[in-house]
Amino acid sequence: MTGKRQNPHFRKLLVGYDGSPQSEKAVDIAFSLAECLDATVLVFAVARPPEPSTSVELGAVLDDAREHFEEGFKKILERARSHNIEVRTDMAVGHPAEQVIHRAEVDGIDLIILGRRGRSMIARMMLGSVSERALRYAHCPVMVVH
């Protein structure tokens, strides 16, 4: 035992990450919780492809997204090491809410942490379609941070 309180309820955290200030804040909160609860963190990004997309466009979107997110992931992993937190990063292509919900189910995530709004213009006017859908359909609790 490392002196951290054991908590069987929130052992695996998933953070939706898009590089926005809100998603950076969600990462910070996940790290704080992970330290207190001795939990692991998955920082998960989703690239949304153009619709309809060809395989060439999909490949280009994935390459661009990977390049974009890798820089943020690198900084996140450095912070995690300095706090001795177990963190993984990954990304997928598709609809962000559906991918986050699916990944949370597949990985047995105990808590999803999302920023209130993402990068899209429409999302700035409301709660945010990703966080709203996750709140409705996720199998586990969802924390939405401002």
Q: Transcribe 61-81 into DSSP letters.
A: HHHHHHHHHHHHHHHHHHHHH
Label residue 125 by pLDDT band (50, 70, 90). Answer: very low
Q: List Cβ neighbours of 63 (8 Å cut-off, separation of 6 or more).
A: none
How confident is the model at residue 123, as a pLDDT? 42
- What 3-state class would DSSP assign to 145? strand
Amino acid at 30: A
- pTM for the full predicted model: 0.84
Write the pLDDT tens digit of every residue in 73-101.
999 999 999 989 999 999 988 889 999 99
Provide mean pLDDT across the span 115-137.
68
All structural domains of the chain: 12-145 (3.40.50.620)
> In terms of Cα–Cα distance, which of 34, 37, 47 is closest to 96?
47
Write the pLDDT tens digit of every residue in 22-46.
999 999 999 999 999 999 999 999 9
- What 3-state class would DSSP assign to 109? coil
